Copies of this chain bind each other. A is one copy, B any other.
Amino acid sequence: MGDKKQWVYVFGEVKADKNLLGGKGAGLTEMTGIGLPVPPGLTITTEACNEYYVLGKQFPPGMEEQLMSKLKTVEQQVGKKFGDPEDPLLVSVRSGAPVSMPGMMDTILNLGLNDQTVQGLTRATGDERFALDCYRRFISMFADVVMKVERSKFENVLHRHKQRMKVEFDSQLDVESMKQVLLDYKQVVRNTTGQPFPQDTYQQLMMAIQAVFSSWDNDRAILYRKINKIPDELGTAVNVQCMVFGNMGSDSGTGVAFTRNPSTGKHDLFGEFLVNAQGEDVVAGIRTPQPISSLETELPGVFEQFVNTCRNLEKHYRDMQDIEFTVERGRLYMLQTRTGKRTSAASVKIALDMYEEGLISKEEALLRVDPNQLNQLLHRQIDPEAKLNILAKGLPASPGAATGAVVFDADEAERLGKAGNKVILVRNETTPDDYHGIVVAQGVLTSRGGMTSHAAVVARSIGKPCICGAESISINYNLGQFTVGGVKVNAGDIVSMDGSTGNIFLGEIPLVDPTSSQELEKLLGWADEIRRLKVRANGDTPEDATKARAFGAEGIGLCRTEHMFMGQDRLPIVQQMILADSIEERNAALHKLLPIQQGDFYGIFKAMEGLPVTIRLLDPPLHEFLPNQEELVVEITKLKVMHGDHKEIAAKENLLRKVRAQSEQNPMLGHRGCRLGITFPEIYAMQARAIFQAVCELVEEGCRIIPEVEIPLVNHPNELKILRKQTEEIAEQVMAEKGIRFDYSIGTMIELPRACLVADEIAQDAEFFSFGTNDLTQTTFGFSRDDAEGKFLAHYVEQKVLKENPFVVIDRSGVGKLMRMAVELGRKTKPDLEIGICGEHGGEPDSIEFCHLVGLNYVSCSPYRVPIARLAAAQAALAK
């Protein structure tokens, strides 16, 4: 080799490095290394793939020579020769990227067959029909993947022959028919491509490798990487492995298995086995496989060996494995192992169990669960008490409840989903081409395929409910309809599904709030021991507060008082206040609002007794509470055209004038937050009084209340100074009136760039800061969220102009830089300044890690995300 780069490695030759060998190659090398029965083979590295693209789709110099040399080693290991007409070595050629992209790239089996070697295979196996069937599969697969001949053309040939022979299954075609099929297959290739099917096995191999390299850049793969944020620069490795055959009779077969139940986490082998079949038969979901337990009765020796292998793999990898294997004439071969995808419930249970089993530490257990995945556990589920009529039943492939309109097409699902509609994607089976539809659907329902079918794997990995193999339903794509037991369900009809039971229902079904499982509680208990960040909840009602506390919230980080202004009993008074012509009129309205607000605060404080409650004074611009301007204009126009009542017109025009006076070009940057507080001091005064009077009521009842009054949208220290003074005066007044002393603190939202830049000055009058990262992101980027997400932000993320949507994940280099500055400046003035975050980022794991890194005291998020935040905060503390 000299100093030339090594592009090709035999399994076991090198350390199992995923980045170099891809996930599949690393798994095969690792299994080879620990002595498991892996058919010999070699891996062409991801570096070779990247170099291939650098060179304008040319193999790197030396790669072919190395391949030949390594292939010789493999030939020696199995004692067969590639292309040997007597006893040919056949190989599979599979892609394998560093990050799993299931089904996204291409695979070719049985490579090495041609008109000569197929005879050698017959001789070697003594089974001509088998050999011919292999050749048939190879031609169609190779022609499809490498030569871009449509697969349906081969299916048509096969269908014709089956009709001619009046048989139902491929396996019923006899040798003569198979020979005829092969001739027709080769004819299809010649007619479609103008080329004969390649007979040179070396040429076959190089074409296949090239096809796998090229598949890295096919549309499906690009889309998958986009959605899953996988860098384009990783490249794929290619694995060339000796074929073993699951289709050599009833003592052969192929299977996939998880070392534990990926749905529940239970410590049981979970998987499926298909007798006398090759891998593609299972994945395609065409034949419904048997549970893995069937292997125990049918091939007990193999089963025992398999169970032991699984145990060893788990011990070795210290995680649940997702395994592909083949049994060839009673002999077990391992074809793949990788860390298995699982539901959130399973993820929690497996982490806990593995700790109990001594496989992993507590810290590792915490790091094993993806906080984002907990979402699944924490969303609403079907009411177990509800009496429901089941329309149909399928396999419970991915848990969770969903309701939506039936859609039969992934493109249509995407269109409707992006427009904000809830849809259920219904297909016979799904393929990687349907991925964009699955992503936006509420749930996926297939009439065919098993628990490891494409739909099931994808749905589990992205946390969507999925039911597979609901065979009682019969889909007619042309009519846009499925029927089940005489019931017709049309596209657009509403159905519901429960991915945890496999039940399908007509219409909407009642959902209930989730309850946290014991396992989750235990894990979160560990998280609480380790995390440094406190976790609070955003909540505007006593109900929110109670729920949040049940989920482990350590206070309310944001109570938005404007939500209280929106109630049906309040809105008319609020409008009266806004439209007041005099300060007296405004005060009269505020006087009516005071007891209502006081009642709101009383309830929230009580629910959070002993914990801090941050109450933000009125934030949105006043026009949000007024009637819609355009609707008023329409009403007035109608009244005028139809010569309506003059008084009514005048009254409406007067209202319109006032609404117009309040309207703004850019309400987001307008007259809101503390700007309202400063120009209409009486509003904030009423709110402060309501807060402090509620505190007094509770103090009298013997409760410990920790109120934090928060001033929104502060820009300049003077704003806070003025409003702080007013608030303190009111606190003193209330204390004097009630004869009760109470503690409280005053602080500010930090949600404008300027506030971050002068945080040292602002901190002088603040006991706490709370980052409002929604608004801070809007102003730092100059993105109006309302407009950006619909107009250009999706395009930006898709085209990778931005790596992430900054409203979802904190933009560390921009917004984060400002936050870091605000923390440093604020603490320079007040070393013990309490700093939190209450934007939506407060419940997003990557952002929580950032909050940990910059030294915040707490994050605050929606009640349902509190467990996610608890776990994410612990993971942040564990990360180096």
> Given that A780-B779, A795-B678 are contacting pairs, would A669 and B667 also be in contact in the complex, using a CB cutoff of 8 Å?
no
- Taking a contact as CB atoms under 8 Å apart, the answer to whether A678 and B801 are in contact is yes
Complex-state Cα separation, A488 to B630, whole angstroms: 38
Of B630, B668, B815, the contact of A630 (CB 8 Å cutoff): B630
Interface residue stretch chosen among A218-226, A734-742, A751-759: A751-759
A675, A719, A786, A817: which has the most chain B beta carbons within 10 Å?
Answer: A675
Complex-state Cα separation, A779 to B752, whole angstroms: 8
- Taking a contact as CB atoms under 8 Å apart, the answer to whether B757 and A781 are in contact is no
Residue of B nearest to A778 (CB): B669
- Taking a contact as CB atoms under 8 Å apart, the answer to whether B757 and A665 are in contact is no
Nearest Cβ distance between residue A568 and chain B, in whole angstroms?
25
Residue of B nearest to A782 (CB): B752
Is A811 in contact with chain B by the CB < 8 A criterion? Answer: yes
Interface residue stretch chosen among A202-210, A260-268, A461-469, A710-718: A710-718
- Taking a contact as CB atoms under 8 Å apart, the answer to whether A792 and B634 are in contact is no
Complex-state Cα separation, A752 to B671, whole angstroms: 21
Residue of B nearest to A801 (CB): B718
Is A637 in contact with chain B by the CB < 8 A criterion? Answer: yes
Of B667, B669, B796, the contact of A783 (CB 8 Å cutoff): B669
Is A722 in contact with chain B by the CB < 8 A criterion? Answer: yes
- Taking a contact as CB atoms under 8 Å apart, the answer to whether B784 and A669 are in contact is yes
Nearest Cβ distance between residue A721 and chain B, in whole angstroms?
9
- Taking a contact as CB atoms under 8 Å apart, the answer to whether A718 and B800 are in contact is yes
Is A670 in contact with chain B by the CB < 8 A criterion? Answer: yes
Nearest Cβ distance between residue A476 and chain B, in whole angstroms?
21
**Inside 8 A of A634's CB, which chain B residues have their CB?**
633-634, 637
Nearest Cβ distance between residue A792 and chain B, in whole angstroms?
5
Is A666 in contact with chain B by the CB < 8 A criterion? Answer: yes
Complex-state Cα separation, A786 to B788, whole angstroms: 20
Of B679, B754, B784, B800, the contact of A781 (CB 8 Å cutoff): B754
Complex-state Cα separation, A251 to B145, whole angstroms: 118
Is A411 in contact with chain B by the CB < 8 A criterion? Answer: yes
Residue of B nearest to A816 (CB): B757
**Inside 8 A of A715's CB, which chain B residues have their CB?**
781-783, 814
Is A802 in contact with chain B by the CB < 8 A criterion? Answer: yes
A411, A761, A775, A787: which has the most chain B beta carbons within 10 Å?
Answer: A787
Is A664 in contact with chain B by the CB < 8 A criterion? Answer: yes
- Taking a contact as CB atoms under 8 Å apart, the answer to whether A679 and B813 are in contact is no
Complex-state Cα separation, A657 to B415, whole angstroms: 13
Of B722, B792, B811, the contact of A671 (CB 8 Å cutoff): B792
Nearest Cβ distance between residue A789 and chain B, in whole angstroms?
11
Residue of B nearest to A411 (CB): B657
Is A16 in contact with chain B by the CB < 8 A criterion? Answer: no
Complex-state Cα separation, A668 to B786, whole angstroms: 12
- Taking a contact as CB atoms under 8 Å apart, the answer to whether A670 and B781 are in contact is no
**Inside 8 A of A678's CB, which chain B residues have their CB?**
792, 795-796, 799, 801
Is A164 in contact with chain B by the CB < 8 A criterion? Answer: no
Is A387 in contact with chain B by the CB < 8 A criterion? Answer: no
**Inside 8 A of A786's CB, which chain B residues have their CB?**
664-666
**Inside 8 A of A718's CB, which chain B residues have their CB?**
800-802
- Taking a contact as CB atoms under 8 Å apart, the answer to whether B679 and A784 are in contact is no
Nearest Cβ distance between residue A398 and chain B, in whole angstroms?
25
- Taking a contact as CB atoms under 8 Å apart, the answer to whether A679 and B795 are in contact is yes
Of B758, B781, B791, B818, the contact of A813 (CB 8 Å cutoff): B758
Nearest Cβ distance between residue A803 and chain B, in whole angstroms?
9
- Taking a contact as CB atoms under 8 Å apart, the answer to whether B411 and A665 are in contact is no
**Inside 8 A of A665's CB, which chain B residues have their CB?**
667-668, 784, 786-787
**Inside 8 A of A713's CB, which chain B residues have their CB?**
782
Is A1 in contact with chain B by the CB < 8 A criterion? Answer: no
Is A641 in contact with chain B by the CB < 8 A criterion? Answer: yes
Nearest Cβ distance between residue A655 and chain B, in whole angstroms?
14
**Inside 8 A of A751's CB, which chain B residues have their CB?**
782
- Taking a contact as CB atoms under 8 Å apart, the answer to whether A675 and B792 are in contact is yes
- Taking a contact as CB atoms under 8 Å apart, the answer to whether A802 and B666 are in contact is no
Nearest Cβ distance between residue A439 and chain B, in whole angstroms?
13
> Given that A757-B814, A757-B818 are contacting pairs, would A664 and B780 also be in contact in the complex, using a CB cutoff of 8 Å?
no
Complex-state Cα separation, A29 to B669, whole angstroms: 53
Nearest Cβ distance between residue A630 and chain B, in whole angstroms?
6
Is A318 in contact with chain B by the CB < 8 A criterion? Answer: no
Nearest Cβ distance between residue A657 and chain B, in whole angstroms?
7
> Given that A670-B788, A670-B791 are contacting pairs, would A753 and B780 also be in contact in the complex, using a CB cutoff of 8 Å?
yes
Is A638 in contact with chain B by the CB < 8 A criterion? Answer: yes
Is A642 in contact with chain B by the CB < 8 A criterion? Answer: yes
Residue of B nearest to A670 (CB): B787
Complex-state Cα separation, A665 to B801, whole angstroms: 23
Of B433, B638, B754, the contact of A641 (CB 8 Å cutoff): B638
A657, A679, A781: which has the most chain B beta carbons within 10 Å?
Answer: A781
Residue of B nearest to A678 (CB): B801
**Inside 8 A of A783's CB, which chain B residues have their CB?**
669, 715
Residue of B nearest to A817 (CB): B757
Binary B-proximity of A644-685 (CB < 8 A = 1, otherwise 0): 000000000000010001001111111100010011000000
20 A-B contacts (beta carbon < 8 Å): A629-B630, A630-B633, A633-B633, A637-B637, A666-B668, A669-B783, A669-B784, A671-B787, A678-B795, A679-B791, A679-B795, A715-B782, A718-B801, A751-B782, A754-B781, A754-B811, A754-B814, A754-B815, A757-B818, A761-B813
Given A665-B668, A668-B669, A751-B782, 18 more pairs with CB closer than 8 A? A629-B630, A637-B638, A637-B641, A664-B784, A664-B791, A665-B784, A669-B669, A669-B778, A669-B782, A670-B788, A671-B788, A671-B791, A678-B799, A715-B783, A752-B782, A753-B780, A753-B818, A754-B782
Closest 4 CB pairs of A and B: A669-B784, A666-B784, A754-B814, A670-B787
